[in-house]
Amino acid sequence: AQSVTQLGSHVSVSEGALVLLRCNYSSSVPPYLFWYVQYPNQGLQLLLKYTTGATLVKGINGFEAEFKKSETSFHLTKPSAHMSDAAEYFCAVSNDYKLSFGAGTTVTVRA
């Protein structure tokens, strides 16, 4: 079965610094991979997804992620953090049309 592992439950960055959130997946078939963001007491918002084609995927709010099959990774990055990026981020892999989520990474942004 497919699964994802998010490395680091909490990431703290300075405003303007690089944001890097790590996600590794396990899949026996070519995966569909997703990053979602959750703000407090809200549902999840899709940031970006990888299905097929270009391995560098650009999403909303300046985020992007690169699918690396050789490393089984799908890390999320943003060149310059903004205070509004403070939230919980979830990596997910589709598993027979269902989504399996990682444990989540909390991002805090320091002024």
Partner 1 sequence: GAVVSQHPSRVICKSGTSVKIECRSLDFQATTMFWYRQFPKQSLMLMATSNEGSKATYEQGVEKDKFLINHASLTLSTLTVTSAHPEDSSFYICSARDWRTASTDTQYFGPGTRLTVL
User: Where on the chain is the footprint of partner 1 (CB under 8 A)?
Assistant: 32, 34, 36, 41-46, 49, 51, 90, 94, 97-99, 101-104
Cα separation, 67 vs 88, in Å, equals 21
Q: What's the min distance (Å) between Cβ of 11 and partner 1? A: 15
Cα separation, 100 vs 27, in Å, equals 11
Q: Cβ closer to partner 1: 6 or 73? A: 6
Q: Cβ closer to partner 1: 41 or 84? A: 41
Cα separation, 59 vs 42, in Å, equals 19
Q: Cβ closer to partner 1: 17 or 59? A: 59
Cα separation, 48 vs 71, in Å, equals 19
